[in-house]
Chains A and B, each alone.
Chain A
Amino acid sequence: MNKSIIVENLTYRYGELVAVDHIDFEVEAGEILGFLGPNGAGKTTAVKMLTGQLHPHEGKAILLGYDVVKDTPKVKAQIGVCFEQPNLYEQMSAIDNLKLFAELFSVNDFNGFALLKRVGLAGREKDRVANYSKGMKQRLMVARSLVNRPQIIFLDEPTAGLDPVSSEAIDNIILEERERGATIFLTTHDMWEADKLCDRVAFINQGRLAALDAPRNLKQQYGKRSLIAEVASTSGKIEKKEIRMDSADTAGAVENLFSKEKVITIHSEEATLEDIFIKVTGRRLSE
C-alpha cells in the first residue's frame, strides 16, 4: 500500500518545552489513524506541523510524497482540516462559508448544497451560521474540510461535546471518506470513538509516541485475557468465575465449567484503550 503520511524524527519546542519529541510513524492510504493523548500531550502541535501551520525544529513530514515544509502549497491543496473549536464565518451563511473555501481551493465543480445535504444540513444552507447549534456547526466544519475532496483529512476532536445524533452523523462521514480512499488522521481523547473507527491508534504522551498499533493488537498485548462466567449455584445464588485464557489448562477449565456448572452468561474480558493507555503511560486520557 502507498504511504499517505511519513513522519521522521519530528520535533517541535516551545522554548525549553519539547512539545513533540522526535516522533516517527507512517500512515497507509485509506487508513484511519487515531491520535490519542491527554490535553497537552503534543497532539495539536503535531497536527499543526503536519498541516503546514508550524515548521518543525527537527525531522520532517512527508504527505502524499511532498515535504510539508518545502512543498506546503501542494500539501495544503490535498488535505482537509477540521478544527476542534468552531472557526466559521458566523455572519455568513453555511453555503457561503463552503463556497469561500471552494474558491480558496480552486474547486471548479463544487456543489455545496450536495455536501451540506450529506452532513445533514439540507434546508438550512442559507441560514447564518451564528444561528446554528453546536452540532450543526461541527457538521459544517466537517463539510468544510471536505470541499476539496482531500486525500488526507485531519479531524481534531470532531465529536467532542456533541449529541449522539450529530456524533453518529460525523462518524458515518468519516467511514464514507475512508471508503472513498481518503486517509483519516483522527485526533481524539475519546477512546470509544477511536476503538470504533480507527484501523490503528497512536498513543502520544509528553510529546512522545508511547504505542502505535491496531486496537485489537493493543488489547491482546496489554489486556487481561480471561473469560468471566456467571454460574448459578445449587442454592440459586449467582457467582462469578474467571478462567485465564492463556494457561495450559484453559480448555479443560472451560469443559469443566459447562459440564459441572449451570452457566448463566459467559464473555471474554477485554481491556479498554483507556486501560491500555494507563498501563503504557501511567496517565489517564482524560487528564
Chain B
Amino acid sequence: MNSRIIKALLKKDISLFMNNRFYMLITVVGIVFYIGIYFLLPSEVDEELSIAMYAEEVPEAFAALSGQQGINIGYFEDEESMTQTVLDGDYIAGISLPTDILDIWAAGNKPDITIYYPSAASTEVLDAIVALVKELSYAQTGQSINFDITQEILGADMTGNQINLRDRMRPLLVIFILLTEILTLASLISVEIEQGTARALFVTPMRISDLFIAKGVLGVGLALIQSILFMLLVGGFAHQPLIVLTALILGSIMVVGIGFLLSSVTRDVMSVTGWGMLILIIFAIPGFGATIPGLLSGWAKVIPSYYLTDTVNRVVNYSAGWVDVSANLAILAGFTALIIYAGMVTLRRRYQ
C-alpha cells in the first residue's frame, strides 16, 4: 500500500466527481429530494377509525355503524383474512363476533368478542375500540357489560408507541441514499475502463490494492457522509447513535462492493444505469417493508439490505439496543464481506 498513490487516486476521483454534472446531480438532488420527502410526509396520524369486522350475522347496532362520520368499517368473510389486513396496517383494529352472538344474547349469556390490533396501535385506539364495542352491545341489547372481551396484538406489541409515516420511512430513504452511490461509483469505474485510463494507471507503480483502497474510500465516504447528514437532519441518531452509525458504515461498504460488482459486469455508463436501477429497486424492497409493516414475508431476508433497514428501523423507530440487533449486524457484516470480496475479485478480472 502506497499512501501517496492512494491520495493521488482519491484526489483524481474527487476531481472527476466534482467535474461531472451527472454525478453531482444524482448526489445533490438525491439528498435534497429524500430530506424533502421526509418533511413533506405527514407527521400526524390519521384520526379516522378504520375498523375491520368479521361476523356471520352482523347485529343491527353494529351494522348501523357503517356510514357514520369518522368511522370506516370493512366486513370480511373469514377471521383469517380480517386479521391479515389488520396486520398489514389497513385497519387500526379488527372485531371478531361469535357466529351465534344473537342467540347468546337472547339466552342471556355473555358472548366472547375478540379484538385484534396491529402492533403499533396506541392505547387510545385500544380504549376507543373497547368503548365502541361496549356502546354497540348496549345499543343492541339494552344492557351494559354483556360480553367478555379478548384483545390480541398482531406482530410485535407497540401499543402506545405509534409511529408516524415519515419516521417509518427513514430506513427506506436512507437505503435509497446509500444505494444511489452505487451508480456514482460504478459509473466512475466504468468510464475509466471504457476510456482506457485504467490501462494507463496499470503501467505505473500503482498496485491494484491501491486502486481498490482509493475507490473504496471514495465510495464509503460519499455514501456515509450523505447518509449521516440525512439521519442527523431527520433525528435518526436520537437513540443508540453508535448502532445506527455501525449499520451505516457496513451499508456504505456493502454499497462499494455492489459498485465494484456492477462496474465489472457492465460495459458502459448506460448499462451501469440500467442494471444499477434494477439493483436499486431490489435492495430498496426491505426499506418498503420497514415503512409498511407486514408488507414483506420471510423471503425479504435473502436481500442483504434487509439487515441494514431492519436494524435502522428497529433502532430509530422501536428503540432497539445492541442485543436486539446484534444478529442483524453480524449477518449484515457477513453479507458485506462477501459482496466486497466478490466485487474485488470480479473487478480485478475486468481490469486485467
Residues on A lying within 8 angstroms of B by beta carbon are 51-53, 73, 76-77, 79, 81, 83, 85, 87-92, 96, 100-101, 103-106, 144
Contacts and interface: CB of A to CB of B under 8 A. Distances in A.
A87 B191 CA distance: 11
A100 B197 CA distance: 12
A88 B196 CA distance: 8
A103 B204 CA distance: 10
A53 B196 contact: no
A83 B196 contact: yes
B297 interface: no
B96 to A, nearest CB: 65
A104 B204 contact: yes
Contacts of B16: 89, 91-92
B7 A73 contact: no
What size tier do the contact residues of chain B reach?
A: 20 to 34
Interface in B200-240: 200-207
Given A85-B196, A87-B196, A103 B7 contact: yes
Contacts of B196: 83, 85, 87
What's the dominant secondary structure at chain B's contact region? helix
A53 B202 contact: yes
Contacts of A73: 205, 207
Interface in B171-215: 195-197, 199-207
A104 B5 contact: yes
A81 B7 contact: no
Contacts of B199: 53, 83, 87
Interface of B: 2, 4-5, 7-9, 11-12, 15-16, 19-20, 195-197, 199-207
A106 B4 contact: yes
A81 B200 contact: yes
A144 B197 CA distance: 12
8 contacts: A51-B203, A76-B204, A87-B197, A88-B200, A92-B12, A100-B12, A104-B204, A105-B205
B25 to A, nearest CB: 15
Contacts, number: 63
Nearest to A89: B197
Contact of A92 (B4, B19, B201): B19
A96 B15 contact: yes
A81 B11 CA distance: 23
Given A89-B16, A92-B19, A103 B8 contact: yes
Contact of B200 (A77, A79, A96, A144): A144
Contacts of A92: 12, 15-16, 19
Q: Which 3 A-B pairs have the closest CB atoms?
A: A87-B196, A103-B8, A104-B204
Nearest to A130: B19
Contacts of A106: 2, 4-5, 205
Contacts of A87: 195-197, 199-200
Contacts of B8: 100, 103-104
Nearest to B20: A91
Given A101-B200, A103-B8, A104-B5, 18 more contacts: A51-B203, A52-B202, A53-B199, A53-B203, A76-B205, A83-B200, A87-B195, A89-B12, A91-B16, A91-B19, A96-B15, A100-B12, A101-B204, A104-B204, A104-B205, A104-B206, A105-B204, A106-B5
A87 B19 CA distance: 18
Contacts of A104: 5, 8-9, 201, 204-206
Contacts of B201: 104
A153 B267 CA distance: 31
Contacts of A105: 204-205
B34 to A, nearest CB: 27
Nearest to A81: B203
Contacts of A76: 203-205
B351 to A, nearest CB: 10
Contacts of A83: 196, 199-200
Contact of A103 (B5, B195, B197, B203): B5
Nearest to A106: B4
Nearest to A86: B196
A201 B9 CA distance: 38
Contacts of A91: 15-16, 19-20
A100 B204 CA distance: 11
Contacts of B9: 104
A105 B4 CA distance: 9
A103 B11 CA distance: 11
Contacts of B207: 73
A88 B197 contact: yes
Nearest to A76: B205
A104 B15 CA distance: 16
A64 to B, nearest CB: 14
Nearest to A96: B15
B200 A52 contact: no
